[in-house]
Structure 1
Amino acid sequence: MVYAVVVAWLVVAAVVVLTWHRLDADRGWRAFVLTLTLGLSLLHQLLFATVTEDALVTFRYAQNIADGNGPVFNPGERVEGYTNFLWLVLIALPRAAFGADIRTAAVVLGVLAALGTVLLACFLVNRLVVAAGAQPRPAIGVAAAVLTASAGGLAVYGASGSEVPLFVLLILAVGYALAARRPVVAGVLVAFVVMTSPEGLVVAVLAGLWLVGAAVKEKHSWWAPVGYALGALVFLIPRLAWRATFYQHFLPAPLAAKLGGPLSAHVAAGWPYLAGFALAHQGFLLLGLVAAVALLLRRPETASRLGRVAPGGRAGEPVAGDTPSGTALETRALLWLLFAIAAGLAVGAVLIGGDPGPSWRLLAPVPPLLAVAAAGVYGVLAADLVAKPSPRPKTLASRLVPVVACGLAGIAVFVSVFSPEMLDRVRNWHAHGSELAEIGGWLGDYLPPGSVVSAAAPGALAAHGGQLLIIDVLGRTDDHIAREGRHVGGVAIDYDYVVNGRRPTVAVPADGGYDDRQHCAIDPVYAGKYEVATFRRVGTPYWVSVYPRAEQAESLVADLDKGPDFRYVPCPS
């Protein structure tokens, strides 16, 4: 698959470079190149194709909705253990309506959202160029699409079953609505952004401030920010009211667990997170920096250059009192908004201490935003705005654009393949998740009905664990731990509550799948109330340790030993 992705990039790069000057005028070639780009994006996503732990937690909620238990992780426990309400609704609907498999529906929707992001990057750049009063340059939009298809974060999470691709798609959709001067639509879309991920609040605030600034400068009427706010609140207020009524809290448990503790600890963890992202995405960051500097230094074109002609004069000649075009200034401001959203998401990731998942999930929207903003800057600044009867000259800059775009796309593809934080870590993540799902299926099949299991990876254990009641010892699906536990390193813990309050039937201490040797030592937090039981995975050199409750240990071990895939091996005396 690695070779297929590299070959796909080479094909796309060659076609884009060779046909660059035909893409502006030939719609057929544009459609062909965009189809190739979508193929690159699809192969890039399939290279990773790993369902995440967070997605598996959401699947459990979606399954309970479809089964009539409501949006809960464990039936009867009203805990908001997810932060992606809109995504949860979208993946639950096919199951509830047609009986579709939730995992398959989520993966397909995620892939489609990622492909939609690639197309929308192209359309948004074209819209920005036209909105600035420049002559249309569709080829620049194709360059943005190629860069977006090569973005590693979008590819990693495209087929992950998580909300990340939808989140990125909706952010670009907000930008498109603003470029089209549809503030009410932008407000509705930003509500969807917030309901997809809490980081959407950054987008909501910055877009709202942008509209207020435009109203102050009389580029928009004051109805624009008002309509934006109304469009957002018509969805967000009912959502908040329902959350407070159903869950009795405004803050979801995962956020409560993560945001507890001192800010300094979050920042100390967030800086290395941002530094790792910056190291792996130097190409996108350099592209964004160059574009931002160019936008800052290059003065906007005057109204005469947009086609206004002085009496007795010719097109392009200055007119007394010329001022920059309002549409050009508004487009520049919108480009700055895209840069600001990218920077805001980066600051937010630092302030909340990053994320434990691979490939910098919180920063997945940043490369596409930078690609769109940089391509838009080039289109706005480099377009020849003076009407000429002769064809556009093929300048050195125009020849370099496809080479630079495809070169940076290639670097991004190679980083996603060779960076230890990306392909290698995703493959390990996939292996550990599959192993935990096997363990969960084994526990679900052979533990007595109604058994309670405590674990640090509840989503993976629940994937095949039926309706086992699962306690997340890190508080992401447990209100007490999330809100009253001790916060350490972005998680919350309260093992006294787990052991003596919830009294799980079995504890699964590992969150990384199987061990390569027998472990007979018990975690001190379970000592005294639980015993160690070690099982060997039949036909493999791998082991799994579980802690059955001491008073039930003998019968629980006997039940688990009935499974054909796991064989009980007592620890040496």
Structure 2
Amino acid sequence: MVVVVGAWLLLAVFVLAAWSRLNTRRSWRIIAVLLALGFSLAHQLLFSTVAEDAFITFRYALNIAEGNGPVFNVGERVEGYSNFLWMVLLALFKTLFGADIVGTAVVLGVLSTLGCVVLAYVLVHRIVRKGRGTEDSAPAFGVAAAVLTAGASGLAAYGPSGLETPLFLLLALCICLSVAENRCVMAGVLVALAVMTRPDGVVIAIVVGIWLVVRAARHRVDWWAPAGYVLGALVLAVPWTAWRVTYYGYLVPNALAAKSGAPLGWQLEQGGAYLVEFGVAHGGFLLLAVAALVLFVVRRPHADRAEGVPEPDVILARSVVWLVVALTVFYLAFITYAGGDWMPAWRLLAPVPPLVAIGSLAALGVAGGGVRTGASPSPRPRRFWLDKAVVPVAIVLSGLSLFASITHEQMLERMHDWRDAIAELGEIGDWFGATLPSGTVVSTFANGALSYEAGSRIVMLDVLGLTDEHIARHGQRDKRLGLVGHLAQDYDYVVNERMPAVAITTGSGYSETQRCGADPLYAGRYLVATFRRVGTDNWVKVYLIREQVTWLVETLGADPRFEHVPCGE
């Protein structure tokens, strides 16, 4: 923590002292961006938590590398992931180089986050330069964007998480940069990759498509721009979708099917609460967005009509700013509609603060330079006080975000508690994998680290249905579970049809005391067995099928790490 605070102080002092030089000297900008990257790396390492759900993708990637195909359990074609591109990348590194899947995911996530910092600088610099012209390009606005992106606490939390979140944001920024440079076919290809990374990419695809159609209708671009965008997207989307439907048998991924079906009113209520909590914790970013948009609207081009018609680059720059704003708003609306998420640090909204920072600083940069026109002679762009005001704003907001990372109950402390629980679940999974014979069916409530560490020999049954087709598509939805996106269940199917040999119901690792109470869902066909982690006061309770209870107790107890302690002793 001391290192992170020290890195931020170094960055803050440098940017404050060198602000005037950042606009005129490229070498100073390089140093500033490198310092922002260093701060981002330290910020990410502050969290150092591999997320529970990431291990679901890891198990799919492991099965691909082992020649079993993109499946969770060998022989069961169930699309229990929703991040195809991320899964393929992990499997590729494992297959070609033998790289550890978890380590690869962490490294790629950290690099993607660092890439977002660089792209924030590049994107804002390009937009502001188009809006102001090369003589007054004010590249320091891009530096401020890099600083704020590095300080975005949610992005830092999920950089080393093993999830696809940083890659998704990286692709979103690449899409914005592509359309800013009128590379619409490339934008279409990138949109397809974004959808292949997260289903949320559909929101980006629709918003960017509408933006291009509006520009074409207003004669800003010809109709080949939206057409090229669609064709670029279809080049990847069509074969990928055809393969998915052929291989898995459904258009909607199983993971999404399992998360659907909740009452809309309840879902919106949960999503609204999720959004409010996020907004309170990120109030600084939201205030920046409001102030920037007000100034951006006040200094719109038609206010200077007497000077002539704004140049095409100015119109494009302002239009890209509105695109970033639209992406942010519609993405917030989509996540609210989806009901939010249960993970700490507002995982689903991690891309929002960087988008807010980029859109706001681009808006301020364009507004601060006045409006260039095609009149001859073209007036010299007017200096604006915002050029000097942005630097303290960037420093203060990055500091506030770092403060939130350290102190907010949803951030550092909860992420580290989660990390400890995930490590314990992984240890339990390793215990199962080391003792149970190949083909044993184990049902689990937390289907990530436990299933991955158990290995592909063990058949893992997810009682929440993310990786089980029947539960996802035919199970009941019970909002009393209280987990957004995890309401599907069918315990009659689990207990009486699949009949796992072992069932474990914890989602938080070990318990601190021996717990012998039986869950009514398993009480009829299963018996409780409790094991103590040798050398600790940690306990784990499992349900063993009655017909094999003696053998299973002996098998599980053969591992020297776990000691069977009958209830009542």
Tell me the TM-score normalized by structure 2.
Answer: 0.95
- How do residues 70-89 of structure 1 correspond to structure 2 at under 5 angstroms? 70-89=69-88
Pick one of 535, 547, 553 that aligns with 1:551: 547
| Inter-partner Cα distance in structure 2 for 1:112 and 1:367 | 18
Alignment correspondent of 1:54: 53
1:3-23 CA-partner distances (Å, limit 9, x unpaired): 111111111011001000001
Tell whether 2:109 aligns with 1:110.
yes
Counterpart of 2:515 (choices 508, 513, 519) is 519
Partner of 1:476: 466
Query: How far apart are 1:326 and its partner, in Å?
Result: 3.0
> What is the match of residue 244 of structure 1?
245
Aligned partners of 2:154 and 2:296: how far apart in 1?
26
- Provide the rounded CA distance (Å) in 1 between the counterparts of 2:467 and 2:3: 39
Amino acid of the structure 2 residue aligned with 1:29: W
Alpha-carbon offset, residue 450 of structure 1: 1.5
Match of residue 364, structure 2, among 357, 370, 378:
378
CA distance in 1, matches of 2:371, 2:21: 19
Q: CA deviation at 1:397?
A: 3.5
CA contact 1:187–1:232 (8 Å) conserved in 2: yes
> CA separation in 1, counterparts of 2:87 and 2:33?
30
Which residue of structure 1 aligns with residue 482 of structure 2? Answer: none
Residue by residue over 1:19-53, the C-alpha shift from the partner in whole angstroms, topping out at 9 and shown as x without a partner, is 00001111111111111110000001111111112
Task: Determine the C-alpha separation between the residues in 2 that align with 1:392 and 1:46.
Answer: 43
Q: Tell me, what secondary structure is at the counterpart of 1:106?
A: helix
Deviations along 1:80-117, one digit per CA (max 9) or x if unpaired, are 01000011111111111111111111111111100000
Structure 2 CA distance for partners of 1:446 and 1:529, relative to 1, 3 Å: same
1:172-321 alignment runs, 5 A limit: 172-300=173-301, 318=306
Cα distance between partner residues in 1 of 2:383 and 2:291: 22
The reply on whether 1:419 has 2:415 as its aligned counterpart is no
State whether structure 2 residue 143 is matched by structure 1 residue 147: no
Counterpart AA for 1:50:
T
2:314 and 2:372 in contact (8 A); partners too: no
Mapped to 1, the partners of 2:458 and 2:145 lie a distance apart of: 46
Indicate if the aligned counterparts of 1:38 and 1:118 stay in contact, CA closer than 8 A.
yes
Alignment-derived partner of residue 458 in structure 1:
447
Whether contact under 8 Å (1:303, 1:325) holds in the other structure is no
1:314 corresponds to? none
Q: Tell whether 2:402 aligns with 1:401.
A: no
* Runs (5+) with no aligned partner, structure 2: 480-484
**Aligned partners of 2:119 and 2:173: how far apart in 1?**
7
Matched residue, 1:327: 313
Aligned-pair identity (%): 50
Q: Is the 8 A contact 1:257 1:487 kept in 2?
A: no
Q: Does 1:532 align with 2:531?
A: no
Which residue number corresponds to residue 312 of structure 1? none
Q: Which amino acid aligns with 2:466?
A: R
- For residues 249 and 384 of structure 2, what CA distance do their matches in structure 1 show? 62
SS where residue 75 of structure 2 aligns? coil
Q: Distance in 2 between matches of 1:227 and 1:449?
A: 51
Q: Is the 8 A contact 1:301 1:325 kept in 2?
A: no
Q: Distance in 1 between matches of 2:235 and 2:340?
A: 31
Equivalent runs, 1:21-36 vs 2, <5 Å: 21-36=20-35
Instruction: Provide the rounded CA distance (Å) in 2 between the counterparts of 1:270 and 1:414.
Output: 25
Q: How many residues end up aligned between the 2 structures? A: 557
- Does the aligned pair in 2 maintain the 1:302–1:325 contact within 8 Å? no
Give me the whole-angstrom Cα distance separating, in 1, the residues matched to 2:350 and 2:407: 18
Aligned to 1:308: none
Contact persistence 2:121–2:142 (CA under 8 A): yes
CA gap 1:107/1:293 in 2 versus in 1, 3 angstroms: same
Matched residue SS, 1:475: coil
Counterpart of 2:510, as a letter, is Y
* Cα deviation digits, residues 232-253 of structure 1 (max 9, x gap): 0111111111110000011111
Secondary structure of the residue that 2:453 maps to in structure 1?
Answer: coil
Amino acid at match of 1:452: V
Find the residue that maps to 1:532 and give its secondary structure: strand
**Which residue does the alignment assign to 1:356?**
342
Determine if contact 2:532/2:565 at 8 Å carries over to the other structure: yes
Distance in 1 of aligned mates of 2:345 and 2:257 = 23
Residue identity in the other structure for 2:169: V
TM-score by length of 1: 0.94
Give distance in 2, aligned partners of 1:37 and 1:301. Answer: 37
- In the alignment, is the contact (CA less than 8 A) between 1:433 and 1:512 conserved in 2? yes
Cα-Cα RMSD: 1.9
Alignment partners' CA distance in 1, 2:557 and 2:149 = 50
| Structure-2 separation of matches of 1:392 and 1:16 | 24
CA contact (8 A) 1:183 1:227 kept: yes
1:513/1:58 CA distance change after superposition, 3 Å: same
